Structure 1
Amino acid sequence: MEAKLEEAEWVQTRLDQLNLIEEKRLNAICHGQLYQKRLKKAFEKKVHPREFREGDLVLKKILQVQKDRLGKWAPIYEGPFVVKKVFSGGALILTNMDGKDLLHLVNSDAVKKYYA
């Protein structure tokens, strides 16, 4: 009879431990979500969205790697260009100062405002 009682107690303690593990797992998930929320808030506090309008002057980043004799002193941006059209996803259509359109759309991350 004692062996069955000890076995029943053992089963009960194992069930309690499993419930405790589940509780700890949920607690860890909650803390992870709170941490992600704090990180997002801190990141968004520092980030300033770039807004461009038609007619703005911008410099376009040179994206392809070029073998240049200037090395690290090679220019990073080219331009200035004029913003012809702005799309909602951050894409821009740029034109040269002569009014000639560029062939490809440019992401707003690859340009910065030009103050003349």
Structure 2
Amino acid sequence: MPYSLVHGVEAILPLEHQIPSLRIAIEEGLSDEDNVCLQLEEFEALDEKRLEAQQRLECYQACICRTFNKKVHPRSFQVGDLVLAVQKPIIVTHRTKNKFVLKWDGPYVVQEAYTNGAYKLVAKEDLRIGTINGKFLKHYYA
């Protein structure tokens, strides 16, 4: 239970104190030494519960990562490649008159490629466009 993972003990409802339950009867009938031993056993079991929760979390994250990476198409460009860039800003409207508006600008030439996936672009007239992330680019085939 999430409560037991956070607090280290099972939750006891106020109703269980008013109407005696088996769990409360067992805990009240224990001596101090037995109660301490029971607490130590629960404390040792808590580490195991945390490890199990951590393993389930890692499995879940790996599954989500695999699912996400199926849709990712890495794009890499070399210096000198011709590319198209997404027009900025792209405003999505539901009007039909904007249906056939071009979404890509270009072609541009990649002047410099950085290690973090960013590229410096230059227009064919040696006009510097600036730095743009690779996910906003696509290859241009003349």
TM-score greater than 0.5 by the shorter chain = yes
Q: Which moved more, 1:32-41 or 1:91-100?
A: 32-41
1:59 matched to 2:84? The reply is yes
- Aligned match of 2:134: 108
State how many pairs are aligned. 113
Identity, % of aligned positions: 33
- Aligned match of 2:32: 7
Q: Determine the C-alpha separation between the residues in 1 that align with 2:50 and 2:99.
A: 50
**TM-score, length-normalised on structure 2?**
0.63
- Aligned match of 1:83: 110
Pairwise mapping of residues 13-32 of structure 1 onto structure 2 (< 5 A)?
13-32=38-57
Higher RCO (CA 8 Å, separation ≥ 6 residues): 1
Following superposition, the deviation at residue 47 of structure 1 comes to 3.1
Name stretches of at least 5 consecutive residues in structure 1 with no aligned partner. none
Name stretches of at least 5 consecutive residues in structure 2 with no aligned partner. 1-29
3-state SS, counterpart of residue 105 of structure 1: strand
1:60 partner letter = A
1:109 partner letter = K
Q: Determine the C-alpha separation between the residues in 2 that align with 1:34 and 1:87.
A: 33
1:47 partner letter = V
Following superposition, the deviation at residue 113 of structure 1 comes to 0.7
Q: Determine the C-alpha separation between the residues in 2 that align with 1:40 and 1:67.
A: 29
